[in-house]
Structures are given as structure tokens and as C-alpha cells.
């Protein structure tokens, strides 16, 4: 009788875990799909032959003393962006990526997914790129929703990553129990 009660309790826990696992999966299916696809793309970005992420080009000198001032390089990048892509694009910077070891500076613009690589010495264009990896990363971490709705502070991203992280934890725990629980039940019945 004691073994039968124990078995019923184990079966009840398995049913609860199966329901949690199934419900979480059904509710978050679309989000899991986007996280997994974008995660794979981000993992391959440096090996995509420039399709997802452009390579970093080399400038003429790695000695900073030879370089133009950053404000001059920034003006060149803005002019190149407007002349090469569209004069209507915002010139607000997201970041500057100074690659001393490559003799190059990347200017990544905030309100769109464009970047300009310049030679640090001459200020000449090395490469202009569509920053697909940034777009994919924004989908992956949910910050694209903050951008779309104009929220400041990244609160949508915070909620999104928290929900997805907790869901993955729940999936891990319930998935493990759904695998281990039946083994445990079989072991307890065969051990009698």
C-alpha cells in the first residue's frame, strides 16, 4: 500500500510537470522560435562570408600618433553615410569601435543599421556596411521592441530576457524530470 501511494504521488508530480512543460512551450513557442533561429545566426555571424557581419578591414597604420582626430573621422563617416546611402539618415552614433590593431575605426549609427569603416590615418572609406548582425541581436534579446515602441531604459528587453531565461530554466527542470521520473518509477517498482 505504501509503495502504491508513493507511485501515485510520483505519477501526480509527473503529470504536473508535463502540464507545466506543455503549457510553457505552447505559450512561448513563437518566442523560442525567434530566440533559437537568431541564436544560430549570431553564432555563425563571423563565418557568414560577410552576409551577416562584415569583416573588419585594415587601415594604413596601427600607430595612433599617425591618426586623424576622432572628430575629423566622425565628420568623414557622416558625410560618407549621407553621400553613399541617403541624406535623410540620422547621424546619431550608437558607438565608435576603434580598432587600433587594424588601423581602422567603425562608426555604427543608432537609428538604423548602417556602419562605416574608415582608415584611421587617411579618413578614407574602407567599407560601408548594413549591420545585419545588430538587427538580429536586437531581435534575439528583445531590444527591437524597445526601439519600436520608443521605451527608454530597456524595460521591454528586461522583461523579455527575464521571461525567456525563466522559461528555459522551467523547461530544463521539467524536461529533466519528465526523462528521469519514469525511470525512477520503474526502478522503484522493479526493486520490490
Same domain, 120 and 102: yes
Total structural domains within the chain:
2
Residue 17 — pLDDT band, cuts 50, 70, 90? confident
Q: What is the pTM of this model?
A: 0.81
Angle between helices 29-44 and 155-190 (to 10 degrees): 100
Return mean pLDDT, the chain: 92
Last residue in a domain, options 130, 154, 172: 130
* Residue 28 near residue 167, CB atoms below 8 Å: yes
pLDDT confidence of residue 78: 98
Residue 192 — pLDDT band, cuts 50, 70, 90? low
* Residue 7 near residue 150, CB atoms below 8 Å: no
What is the mean predicted confidence (pLDDT) over 19-33? 90
Tell me the CATH number at 122. 3.10.450
pLDDT confidence of residue 13: 86
pLDDT confidence of residue 116: 98
Same domain, 4 and 97: no
* Residues forming a β-bridge with 116: 107, 128
Same domain, 135 and 190: yes
Per-residue pLDDT tens digits for 177-188: 888 888 877 777
Per-residue pLDDT tens digits for 76-129: 999 999 999 999 999 999 999 999 999 999 999 998 999 999 999 999 999 999
Residues 6+ apart with CB under 8 A from 92: 109, 110, 111
Per-residue pLDDT tens digits for 125-155: 999 999 999 999 999 999 999 999 999 899 9
Same domain, 82 and 169: no
Residue position matching grid coordinates 508513493: 6
Same domain, 14 and 79: no
Range of the domain at 91: 54-130
What is the mean predicted confidence (pLDDT) over 166-186? 87
Same domain, 178 and 137: yes
DSSP code string of 80-98: HHHHHT-TTS---EEEEEE
Per-residue pLDDT tens digits for 37-59: 999 999 999 999 999 999 999 99
Same domain, 110 and 144: no
Amino acid at each position: 500500500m505504501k509503495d502504491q501511494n508513493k507511485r501515485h504521488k510520483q505519477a501526480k508530480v509527473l503529470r504536473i510537470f508535463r502540464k507545466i512543460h506543455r503549457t510553457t512551450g505552447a505559450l512561448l513557442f513563437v518566442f523560442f522560435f525567434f530566440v533559437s533561429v537568431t541564436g544560430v545566426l549570431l553564432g555563425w555571424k563571423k563565418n557568414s562570408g560577410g552576409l551577416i557581419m562584415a569583416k573588419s578591414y585594415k587601415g594604413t597604420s596601427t600607430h595612433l600618433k599617425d591618426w586623424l582626430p576622432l572628430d575629423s573621422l566622425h565628420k568623414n563617416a557622416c558625410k560618407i553615410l549621407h553621400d553613399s546611402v541617403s541624406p535623410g539618415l540620422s547621424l546619431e552614433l550608437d558607438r565608435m569601435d576603434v580598432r587600433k590593431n587594424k588601423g581602422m575605426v567603425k562608426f555604427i549609427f543608432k537609428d538604423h543599421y548602417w556602419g562605416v569603416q574608415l582608415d584611421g590615418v587617411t579618413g578614407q572609406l574602407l567599407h560601408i556596411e548594413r549591420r545585419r548582425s545588430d538587427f538580429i541581436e536586437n531581435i534575439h534579446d528583445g531590444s527591437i521592441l524597445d526601439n519600436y515602441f520608443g521605451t527608454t531604459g530597456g524595460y521591454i528587453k528586461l522583461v523579455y530576457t527575464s521571461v525567456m531565461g525563466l522559461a528555459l530554466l522551467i523547461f530544463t527542470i521539467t524536461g529533466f524530470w519528465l526523462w528521469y521520473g519514469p525511470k525512477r518509477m520503474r526502478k522503484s517498482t522493479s526493486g520490490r
